[in-house]
Amino acid sequence: MELPFSQAEKDMLARAVEFARSEVAPNAQKWEDERRQPLETLQAASLAGLAGLEVPEHLGGFGGRFRLKARIAEEIARDCYAFSFSLINHMGLAGKIARDAPEEIAKKYLPEMLAGEAIGCTALTEPAAGSDFAAITTHAKKVDGGWIINGEKAWITNAAHADLMFLYAQTDPASGWRGVAGFLIDAREDGVSRVPPFEIMGGHAIGTGGFVLTDHFVPDIRMMSAPGDGFKAAMAGVNAARTYVATMCCGMTEAAIDLAVSYASERAAFGGHIADLQGLRWRLADAQTEVEAARLLAYRAVLAVENGTEAEIPAAHAKKYAARMADEQLSRCMQMMGAAGLKRAYPLGRQIACARIANYVDGTTEIQNERIARALFNKKK
């Protein structure tokens, strides 16, 4: 299945692929060795126009559809899942500011985001609240002219360098999810401190970390989702994220299959090449079939998100299947290469670690099962 694109979208996708091959592929292992998020490459991607993918043209962006975002995530993940996830989160906040923020705020913050001078993130998860979104305790208290926010956010993509965040906070604990609102936070202002980046196996380029907010004042104009709407915005954002995570798993796994095919075609053994062995060939054929099946689920979810139709279940199926698929098939690709697959020169170890990450981010595989099971049992009511 192929997603149709306009010529301008095809050109942008080609630009993203070229950026990935020239700037991401040669450096991905080095970033992991150095245990750091490559701020300079995020900035370069922004200057190449990728940060403005979902920003309308009149605000300096490209104005692309969600399908293009998902495909770009898939292609960059072929070289580095972690960097792809980081970049997609940065461009996601730029797109959200363009859609939801007052024009005054958009004109203030978008230029520096599009130039890579300010990196964006979304701050939802807390040390004791992840998939149980209604349990967040970061609190926003109404004061004259704005809100005072106190709380801590954890497991935040891009927190290592992010200057701007879309932060979810509870305005009325007695109201549960109906009290959750969304705010645009400038981490360069008083009352925001950065938690040291987490040491994440195989995924340092994601820049995972957290923030502590202490009596931080945010003006009314930077409330981007009113109480109650914040929860709805979070759920829509999570469905989109689960969808592009699925496409990223497809790209990462297909790249590993291509590597295994090349290695098997060159590795001499038993008077020929190991690619001549039927058992190996069939295993790689099975792996490609699994990628194709995962991609069909992922693209179905892409269209649901883009069209504004019910995306929760398509996204849950796509992420669950693709993350499990990547987990299994990446290990098989390494097995096809024997001990050589363990070498640092090959990306398989890093990819396997990122497949584990894919099973946790934006709702664990078990959470996807809960969403799917709930829909099944609701049919009986």
Domain residue ranges of the chain, discontinuous segments joined by +: 7-119, 122-230, 238-378
Q: Which residue has the tokens 């790249």?
A: 255
Which of 332, 309, 380, 361 is closest to 77 using CA atoms?
A: 361
What integer is the mean pLDDT of 160-166?
97
CA–CA gap between residue 213 and residue 173 (Å, rounded): 18
Looking at the predicted structure, is the pLDDT value of residue 1 above 80?
no
- CB-based burial, 115-125: b 16+ in 10 Å, e otherwise: ebebbbbbbbb
Number of neighbours of residue 372 by Cβ within 10 angstroms: 14
- Give 40-66 pLDDT, tens digit per residue: 999 999 999 999 999 999 999 999 999
What integer is the mean pLDDT of 256-283?
87
155 contacts 202 by C-beta, under 8 angstroms: no
For the structural domain made of 238-378, what CATH number should be given? 1.20.140.10
More confident residue, 127 or 255: 255
Q: If you write DSSP's letter for every residue of 46-81 in order, what string do you get? A: HHTT-TTTTS-GGGTS----HHHHHHHHHHHHTT-H
Hey, what are 121's tokens? 């993130």
CA–CA gap between residue 350 and residue 293 (Å, rounded): 23
For the structural domain made of 7-119, what CATH number should be given? 1.10.540.10
The maximal CA–CA distance of the chain, rounded, in angstroms, is 81
Burial of 63 (0-12, 13-18, 19+ CB in 10 A): middle
CATH code 3.40.50.300 for 122-230:
no
- Give 139-156 pLDDT, tens digit per residue: 999 999 999 999 999 999
pTM confidence score: 0.94
Q: How confident is the model at residue 381 (pLDDT cuts 50, 70, 90)?
A: low
CA–CA gap between residue 124 and residue 92 (Å, rounded): 14
